[in-house]
Each structure stands twice: as structure tokens, then as C-alpha cells.
């Protein structure tokens, strides 16, 4: 159930020659090589989602900021990138070079997010991820009818976490959308949306329909949460203390001004939402019980292990 992983979906027509296909009930992803040697990343609606994906309005940001914006393609959105694998996939490769490649991508993402956060925001809407998480925490899931696995998961977390932990998650999500303190945020700056080049070319941060108004720490926390989840869940992620400190690379590239305590809390929200979405779009798994215990520890420590110098996993 680790970050940004989906199940295989029905193959595309042979003429498309997909490099990779995967998906969940929320979204499917298809990667195909283009005639000029680049890669098209197509995102479309999953079986449990009503309606097509819509193209976002992305304001101008400085050149080199690596935001790969989308164009409509069928009932989905297509992005161009110079690699067929996400940073999440590369971090399952035990070779030191893979970790260095991801460090380079995270540095580019930090700079891109900094540029995005200084752009004029064309929306005041809360990012969909926060709306989805708050609905789950408050027991009013937006899916109709509510998936049985989500209902079972929420009953379990109420017992395992108690109302105090749930209230902390609700308060943190509200803090990340506090009026008067928001900027334009990516909304889903995950390792699955971060694509390093395979050989040469710019890093791509796939920017889709999740744009919204939030605290900048939301975007930082989403990437930090992915890194913390992988460090806990995937054995090959660890490097024995060798190689770059990936959370530190991201935060250093972003630069000063970010509230690291708030970013750490956002990291917890990222993992909690991933757990909820797994139940909603993949169904029940006993692995969710392990996630519940892991997230309880993260709530208690306010996500400090996700930031440099924080608690050790």
C-alpha cells in the first residue's frame, strides 16, 4: 500500500504501446513513448469516479520551474515528461544512483513549488485532498454510497485513535487552509507525480486538477509524507546512512520561510489520506490495521520524523 502505487488496468490498444499502466478506482495512469523520444503521462478517471478529469488553470511561473501542466486528452489529462518512471518507482531501486536521481528531482520540485507559491492564485477553493480528508475524519465521506471499506476503516480508527487524535487531524487540515494565509498550491505534490528524466532533460512535476488555495506547507508535507511512508514500509528505501538526506534536499531547495512543524503535520495528513483512499478505491486489506498503528504514532509525535532532525522511525 506504499505511496503512489496502483493496480494494473486494462491494456491500451496495441498501437499506443504503453510503457506502463496502473490505476485505482480513483484514477488510472498510462505512460507511452512519444515520436520524439519523450513520454506522455495520461491520467484518466478510475471506475469509481464520476466524470472526466478537468484541465487546471496554471499561472505563469519562471522558466525551469519543472511544472508539467496538462492538456485535455479524451476524458483525462496528458502531460509530457522526459522519463517513464516516477520518483516513487525509482526509490524502490536499491542502487545508490537511483537515490541520487531522486534527490535531483526533489531539489527541482522544491524550486518549482517555491515559484508556484509566489504566483497569483486564480482560485480560493480548498484543494480536493483536504476536502476528502476532512470528510473522512468528520464521518461524512463524499462518496455516495460510502464504500464499505471506508466505513469499516473509520470505525477502526475511531476505536484505535480515539476522538482526540481525530480532532488533531481535523485541526491540522483546517490550519492548512486558514483564510488569509493561503497561496496557490499544487495540491498533490507526491512522489508519484514527480518524474526524473531517464537520460537527459528537465524534471517534471505533473500538475493536474488538484490546484487550490492552501498553506505552502501542504505541498511540502505531501512529499515529506511520501518519503516517511516509504522509509517505514519499503525495506530497500533505507540506505544505511549513505547518500543524500532526501527530506533535507527538498526543504533546502525550497528555501527559508516554511513552517517545518506545519509541514510535518501535513506529512501525517498525507499518509492518513493515502490510507483512506486505499480503502475507498482498492478495498479492505488487513495492512490498513498496520497503517492505523503507524499513523497513531505519527499523530502523537506531530510528524516530526518526516523532517530533518525529527524523531527517528
Dump pLDDT digits (tens) for 229-244: 999 987 656 555 567 9
* pLDDT over threshold 70, residue 251: yes
At CA 82, angle to CA 255 and CA 190, rounded to 5?
A: 45
Q: What is the pLDDT of residue 63?
A: 56
Contact 176, 217 (CB under 8 A): yes
Percent of the chain clearing pLDDT 70 (strictly above): 87
**pLDDT band at 125; cut points 50, 70, 90:** confident
223 phi, psi to nearest 5 deg: -70, -40
Q: Rounded CA gap, 180 and 147, in Å?
A: 35
- Mean pLDDT of the 282-300 span: 96
Contact 208, 174 (CB under 8 A): no
Average pLDDT in the chain = 87
CATH code given to domain 85-306: 3.90.1200.10
CA gyration radius, the chain:
18
Q: What is the pLDDT of residue 69?
A: 86
Most confident of 61-65, 147-151, 216-220: 216-220
Burial call 191-202: b when 16+ CB within 10 Å, e when fewer = bbbbbbbeeebb
* pLDDT over threshold 80, residue 197: yes
The structural domains of the chain, with segments of one domain joined by +, span 85-306
Q: Rounded CA gap, 313 and 307, in Å?
A: 11
Neighbours of 274 (CB within 10 A): 24
Q: Rounded CA gap, 23 and 9, in Å?
A: 6
Report pTM. 0.90
How is the beta sheet containing 39-45 ordered, strand by strand? 18-23, 27-33, 39-45, 76-81, 71-73
Torsion of CA 198, 204, 209, 210, to 10 degrees: 110
Distances (CA, A) of 203 to 84, 117, 172, 191: 12, 18, 31, 12
Give the residue from 181, 256, 239, 190 showing the smallest Cα distance to 219: 190
Amino acid at each position: 500500500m506504499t505511496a503512489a502505487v496502483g493496480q494494473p488496468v486494462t491494456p491500451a490498444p496495441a498501437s499506443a504501446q504503453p510503457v506502463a499502466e496502473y490505476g485505482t478506482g480513483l484514477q488510472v495512469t498510462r505512460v507511452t513513448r512519444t515520436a520524439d523520444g519523450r513520454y506522455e503521462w495520461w491520467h484518466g478517471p478510475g471506475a469509481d469516479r464520476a466524470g472526466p478529469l478537468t484541465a487546471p488553470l496554471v499561472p505563469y511561473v519562471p522558466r525551469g520551474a519543472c511544472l508539467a501542466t496538462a492538456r485535455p486528452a479524451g476524458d483525462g489529462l496528458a502531460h509530457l515528461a522526459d522519463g517513464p518512471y516516477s520518483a516513487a518507482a525509482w526509490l524502490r531501486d536499491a542502487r545508490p544512483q537511483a537515490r541520487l536521481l531522486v534527490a535531483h528531482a526533489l531539489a527541482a520540485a522544491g524550486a518549482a513549488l517555491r515559484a508556484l507559491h509566489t504566483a497569483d492564485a486564480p482560485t480560493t477553493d480548498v484543494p480536493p485532498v483536504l476536502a476528502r480528508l476532512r470528510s473522512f475524519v468528520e464521518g461524512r465521506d463524499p462518496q455516495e454510497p460510502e464504500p464499505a471499506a471506508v466505513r469499516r476503516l473509520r470505525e477502526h480508527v475511531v476505536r484505535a485513535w480515539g476522538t482526540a487524535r481525530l480532532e488533531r487531524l481535523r485541526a491540522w487540515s483546517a490550519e492548512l487552509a486558514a483564510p488569509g494565509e493561503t497561496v496557490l498550491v499544487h495540491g498533490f505534490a507526491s512522489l508519484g507525480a514527480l518524474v526524473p528524466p531517464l537520460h537527459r532533460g528537465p524534471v517534471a512535476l505533473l500538475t493536474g486538477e488538484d490546484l487550490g488555495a492552501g498553506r505552502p506547507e501542504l505541498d511540502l508535507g505531501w512529499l515529506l509524507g511520501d518519503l516517511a511512508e516509504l522509509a517505514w514500509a519499503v525495506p530497500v528505501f533505507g540506505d544505511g546512512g549513505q547518500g543524500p538526506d532526501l527530506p533535507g534536499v527538498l526543504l533546502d531547495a525550497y528555501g527559508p520561510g516554511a513552517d517545518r512543524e506545519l509541514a510535518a503535520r501535513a506529512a501525517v495528513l498525507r499518509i492518513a489520506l493515502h490510507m483512506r483512499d486505499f480503502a475507498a478505491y482498492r478495498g479492505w486489506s488487513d495492512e490498513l490495521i498496520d497503517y492505523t498503528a503507524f499513523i497513531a504514532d505519527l499523530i502523537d509525535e506531530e510528524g516530526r520524523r518526516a523532517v530533518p532532525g525529527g524523531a527517528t522511525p
